[in-house]
Structure 1
């Protein structure tokens, strides 16, 4: 039986200040494994632009997953139009889709008449609490990207999430569609915060 040795990075604490290092670690691991796509969660565009900078002069493709329209305010997209223009001009794919690990479920759990957590939200909470908030985000972004056809379910990708803002968790994931969630595989955790 064989094995490999690779670096795993641990941040002292979660947070946006880890974003430049997370971007560097993502590019490093993508090159080591011959992975072509980096999937990054970005709310405003700042994280995506940081990753774009780290990916300059590489043949890596950036897939940016944003909050759904109306996530914070009805009818509003939080992503900066200027950032979207810059990213698209450089060939990045920007996906704005329904959150795979909440979506309609959240409407039910937040309802005063229905209330209670759903099974989908229990899966999301388990990923958040047991490993890291950023892992839940990375998994969700891989699902959304697969559902939108931006990544294949037969390829490994680097998937990146964060705790509140920025990026602090980097994973190697073999994606799946949301409808086949349990086919998704987190194959490596490249970086994450130790204290959550």
Structure 2
């Protein structure tokens, strides 16, 4: 029998108060496994800044996935443009991505005439409800980064997401593109909230 013993961290509750610890746990596991890319969701920039602080002094690349323009209101990008420009000048990659696990599907399910859930939304809801909302976010950000060619199905990455705000879930993922979703593997849960 062959196995590896690893530490998993459990936050008592979800939320932004876990962000700094989640960032430290992400970098700790990346260094332990020799992983060179960390993908994290950030809509306001606060989580991105916390992760940038944590990778300081390492050779780990930080990839921040933000909402697309128009996510909350038409024509508006939530992520502060000046912060994005500063972080990019410091080596952080900032990408905008349509939610791979909802996108156009959400427009159809929210339409009163069409209604109903889509198969894609069922996948998203399954991740949210059976493991953690942050896992769904981490998986989705990984798909977005893979579809933009920033991470490869040939590597392992650290991916992190949260519940509404901040970060409370960290995992090791072998990426895939959205079109080959079922090739994606969540290989390790590094941290997550116990109470959801």
TM-score past 0.5 threshold: yes
CA contact (8 A) 1:101 1:140 kept: yes
Matches within 5 A, 1:5-154: 5-154=5-154
User: Deviations along 1:68-116, whole A, 9 cap, x unmatched?
Assistant: 1111001110001122022101111111011100000011001111011
Return the alpha-carbon distance in structure 2 between the equivalents of residues 90 and 7 of structure 1: 31
User: Helix, strand or coil: the match of 2:107?
Assistant: helix
User: Helix, strand or coil: the match of 1:152?
Assistant: coil
Return the alpha-carbon distance in structure 1 between the equivalents of residues 83 and 164 of structure 2: 19
CA contact (8 A) 1:39 1:63 kept: yes
Return the alpha-carbon distance in structure 2 between the equivalents of residues 128 and 170 of structure 1: 14
Task: State the number of aligned residues.
Answer: 196
Return the alpha-carbon distance in structure 2 between the equivalents of residues 29 and 88 of structure 1: 24
Q: Spell out structure 1 runs of 4+ moving beyond 3 A.
A: none
Unaligned runs of 5+ in 1: none
TM-score (norm 1): 0.99
Return the alpha-carbon distance in structure 2 between the equivalents of residues 81 and 161 of structure 1: 21
User: Helix, strand or coil: the match of 2:151?
Assistant: coil
User: Deviations along 1:11-49, whole A, 9 cap, x unmatched?
Assistant: 000000000000000000000000000000000111001
Return the alpha-carbon distance in structure 2 between the equivalents of residues 102 and 14 of structure 1: 22
Return the alpha-carbon distance in structure 1 between the equivalents of residues 86 and 137 of structure 2: 24
Return the alpha-carbon distance in structure 2 between the equivalents of residues 120 and 45 of structure 1: 27
Unaligned runs of 5+ in 2: none
**Which residue of 2 is the match for residue 169 of structure 1?**
169
CA contact (8 A) 1:172 1:188 kept: yes
Return the alpha-carbon distance in structure 1 between the equivalents of residues 65 and 84 of structure 2: 11
User: Helix, strand or coil: the match of 2:4?
Assistant: coil
Return the alpha-carbon distance in structure 2 between the equivalents of residues 141 and 94 of structure 1: 12
